[in-house]
Amino acid sequence: MRRRKLIVLVVAVAAIVGAGAFAVFAADRVKGSAAGTAAAYFAAWRKGDVLGMERLVHQPPADFVTRHRALSEELHVESLALTPGPLRRTGEESAEVPFAGVRRLAELGAWPFDGTLRLAVRDRAWKVLWTPETLHPLLKDGARLELGEIETTSAEFVTSEGDRIPHDSYADAYLDPLKPEFAEAHTGWQLLLKTPGQPDRSLLSKQPAANVERTTLSRSVQAAAARALDAVDDSTIVVVRPSTGEILGLADRLKDNYSAVRDVFPPGSIFKTVTAAALVQHGLDPQAEVPCPGSYTVPGFRTIRNDGEVDRGIITFTDAFAHSCNTTFVEQATNRLTSAALAETAAAWGFGRQMVTGIGGSCGTVPATDSVDTFAEDVIGQGEVVTTPLCMAALAAAVENGTWRSPRLLSKEQVRRVDGVTSEDVRMDQRVVQALRDMMAAVVDHGTASGMGLPAGVAGKTGTAETPDGRPHAWFIGYRDDLAFCVFVRHGGSGRGAAVPIAVRFLNGL
């Protein structure tokens, strides 16, 4: 009996000891795993289950849910992608999981970031050790993220094809002043990091789109014009489409703030195009034989000389134009024309006429004079005659097309907006036009621009204008098909030596 009681007592003691050991084992057991907790947290984060995330965090801040939802709302987050890396043990009861994330913002697109999810055993369970950097690594030291609007007023000009204006096009001086006229307000966005005590840092931005306006500039023509001037300072090329008046190219490298559109210069022999028009209109046949002596003295007045005093004898008026005989033009003009008649013809070909371009501009002047000496100089583009490269490009275009049109850099509607008016096209005397075409073709065929490498089909006129303050100005105007141009090199020397080579590079570069 005593033995049976002893056995029962031993069993009871063993049971009590076993129960106590089980209780100790159960009390020391850790709930879950680091990998399981991390996977559950990422799954809840992807779904936007912020309450589910909060339950997995050790001592989450009171604003945990609010902070997550506010970030998504304020940054206009459309989606969130998370890619966890492998779990790394950092101790017996700690671990971390590196991860890559991509938030897609409605206004700014994809915004990638890298983070680390830290975990540890707390209260016998694996928990997330959350800090603001878990939400985004930049959210430390009280930093916050802010999405803001950027508002600017701007305009951008493009070519007629809709392309950007070529780099180093030498057209900025004309396009930049137009921008305020066409600028419109547009809104962009930027994501800022705001850290107390530090300057704001831009993380992402989307600049406002400028108001885009098309010009008449042709990308290929503008590029060819600019490249033709690359090696020549103080020069310009103006290119016009004769059939419309559109400025296809406007490359301006003139120095000292001179403008190919607004500033006037003595034209020299390219003005003989206007004088020839006046002489033909007043009865001089282009094939009429005329003298071209080395020098000619206007009876009772001054003496005019050819370049080098070259005496060509008796030649046709067309050849006198081709070889740019000063003496022929002065003799014929002083015998057949008056100063007023020359000024009237110049006015018909654009001088003194309003240039409605969208960028301002003038054509020049041919003042009537009572001085025979001044008139003799005016006839050959010296004296008081002055013009702009823009005007002479328009004149060459009128010869090619038979109609004078004001050059324009913008559409007719845009020009009306800037200038308030548009210009009327003027049909020229077709008999005079045809005579000028033949004369300008002769210049390239066997005259002052011959043998220079100009492409087939080019017609033109060279000019060398004496100046009181340095070397002569060099000019060359011309056209080929539906493209007319004026090349001007300020103080460049002779038209043949300085201006024609630029035209060759330009035309061959198209």
H/E element, 345: helix 339-348
Return the percentage of the chain with pLDDT > 70, whole number: 94
Q: What is the pLDDT of residue 210?
A: 75
**Any long-range contacts for 155-158 (C-beta under 8 Å, 24+ apart)?**
155/179, 155/180, 155/181, 155/182, 155/183, 155/184, 155/210, 155/211, 155/212, 155/213, 156/210, 156/211, 156/212, 156/213, 157/182, 157/212, 157/213, 157/214, 157/215, 158/212, 158/213, 158/214, 158/215
Q: How confident is the model at residue 251 (pLDDT cuts 50, 70, 90)?
A: very high
Span 230-251, average pLDDT: 97
Side-chain half-sphere exposure of 420, counting CA atoms within 13 A: 1
CA distances from 447 to 293, 379, 389 (A): 17, 19, 22
Start-to-end CA distance of the chain, whole Å, equals 125
Residue 151's beta-bridge partner residues?
187
Dihedral sign from CA coordinates of 177, 178, 181, 183: negative
* pLDDT tens figures, 354-390: 899 999 999 999 999 999 999 999 999 999 999 999 9
Which of the residue ranges 147-161, 352-366, 463-477 would you say has the lowest mean pLDDT?
A: 147-161
* pLDDT tens figures, 405-431: 999 999 999 999 999 888 899 999 999
Position 268 pLDDT exceeds 90: yes
Q: How confident is the model at residue 342 (pLDDT cuts 50, 70, 90)?
A: very high
Q: What is the dihedral of CA 322, 325, 328, 334, to 10 degrees?
A: 110
Span 446-471, average pLDDT: 97
Span 187-216, average pLDDT: 91
CA angle 285, 286, 292 (to 5 degrees): 105
Span 51-67, average pLDDT: 97
Q: What is the pLDDT of residue 186?
A: 74
CA distances from 266 to 270, 367, 381, 389, 395 (A): 10, 13, 6, 10, 15
Dihedral sign from CA coordinates of 306, 312, 316, 322: negative
Q: How confident is the model at residue 208 (pLDDT cuts 50, 70, 90)?
A: confident
Q: What is the pLDDT of residue 28?
A: 54
Which of the residue ranges 33-47, 346-360, 484-498 would you say has the lowest mean pLDDT?
A: 346-360
Top pLDDT among 231 and 88 is at: 88
Top pLDDT among 306 and 15 is at: 306
7's tokens: 């056995």
Position 297 pLDDT exceeds 70: yes
pTM of the model as a whole: 0.75
Write the single-letter amino acid at 351. Answer: F
Query: β-pairing, 364-365 with 211-214?
Result: unpaired
By the 8 A CB rule, do 30 and 126 touch? yes
Q: How confident is the model at residue 155 (pLDDT cuts 50, 70, 90)?
A: confident
Position 1 pLDDT exceeds 80: no
Q: How confident is the model at residue 505 (pLDDT cuts 50, 70, 90)?
A: very high
What is the separation of C-alpha 457 from the centre of its chain, rounded to a whole number of angstroms? 32
Q: What is the pLDDT of residue 185?
A: 75
Q: What is the pLDDT of residue 111?
A: 97
Give me the residue label for tokens 């034209």.
267
Write the single-letter amino acid at 360. Answer: G
Q: What is residue 265's DSSP assignment?
A: B
Measured distance CA(258)–CA(234) in Å, rounded:
9
Return the percentage of the chain with pLDDT > 90, whole number: 86
Measured distance CA(191)–CA(140) in Å, rounded:
16
Measured distance CA(195)–CA(451) in Å, rounded:
72
Position 20 pLDDT exceeds 80: no
Top pLDDT among 23 and 343 is at: 343
Dihedral sign from CA coordinates of 133, 135, 141, 145: positive
Q: What is the pLDDT of residue 209?
A: 75
Neighbours of 233 (CB within 10 A): 12
Position 138 pLDDT exceeds 50: yes
